[in-house]
Amino acid sequence: MYVHARSSELRDLHQIKKMDLVNCGQEASELFRVQSHLYKHLFSFIDSMSLGCAIQLGIPDIIHSHGQPMTLPQLVSKLHIDPKKTMCVHRLMRLLSHSGFFTKTTTVHEDGEEEEEAYALTPSSRLVLKDDRTSLSPFVVAMLDPALINPWYSLGDWFRGSELTPFAKENGMGLWDYCNQNPEYGDTFNEAMASDSRFMRLVVKEYKPIFEGLGSLVDVGGGTGTMARIISEAFPHIKCTVYDLPHVVANLPETSNLNYVGGDMFQYIPPADAILFKWIMHDWNDEDCVNILKRCKETITSKGYKEGNKVIIIDVVINEEKDDEDTTKAKLLFDTVLMVLLPGKERTEKEWEKLFLEAGFSRYKIVASYGMKSLIEVYP
């Protein structure tokens, strides 16, 4: 009996040790998985910097001009760089291919036998072709400028301090003053916003009823007028006005139904049937947005008011329940960008509704959502 009991105890002990080893293995596996997750996000800035490098070198345009998948030696020869850096180009392209900016295919070498790896564009890299009408390369360049990147280093100190934004803490002034005092970057920033606005051709074309009944429209904060020009060309009967700071709209070419007016939206907004804000409201805090919206309500309900006068807002609406993962992540990232650069934020539908009601509007409608942005109509 003693021997049998002792043998049973040994078996139990062996089983416990075996289970401990299994648990230890599972725990170690999970620990290393979490470590990979942490490292992935720690170094995710390399994705954007690598994309910026590819645009700087002109890689997407070179591959596009080649007209077919391009081998590494072909790409290096067109880049006019030291051949010793060929393997570095390979490593850059390997990362960008993994991130979805290029695809890797196999092409047959000139001798007809040896196969070589070749790179082709993807829909994402086509978005940064410099000569394309919908190119976002100016947006990438503007967002990766050191003036916008360096404030992230002081984010922790900013939380403990009293400065309005990390950008102001780093640069000694707000973003708009910086653009004004550094005209070269100001032009870069305006071109970035214009590159985003060019996508609005698709929206204007698909949602014509929003604009068809209007006789006049003011694009507040419309920059150099890309959005207003799209609307004025699609709807010649609409008198479009771009309203922005005087130095932004000075000496810009006008047309028969497109003009530019300089001013301050916190002081005055020109009268019109519709007031348009494309990616403007998210730059400002709630109090400022309510004040701007109150001024809009006064404008569209003043003398000559017509049924259907409204405010049109094209901006982000955060919806973590309905949006896909990429869209949600892009919105949340952009919200944090705003926290660093400006006093504004991205908003949920409830937060938008609160602004509209506080400003005295009676109703609103989210007409459509596409990508990061939604199109909202707000009525008195």
Active site residues: 282
Of 356, 317, 314, 344, nearest in space to 217 by CA = 314
Quote the longest CA-to-CA distance of the chain: 107
CA angle 302, 307, 308 (to 5 degrees): 100
Q: What is the DSSP letter of 134?
A: T
Q: Which residues contact 232 (CB under 8 A, 6 or more apart)?
A: 238, 240, 255, 257, 258
Of 322, 321, 17, 340, nearest in space to 152 by CA = 340
Angle in degrees, 0-180, between the axes of helices 45-57 and 86-98, rounded to the nearest 10 = 120
C-alpha distances in Å from residue 313, one per residue of 41, 87, 220, 253, 370: 33, 48, 10, 25, 13
Spell out where 227-304 has E strands.
239-244, 258-262, 274-278
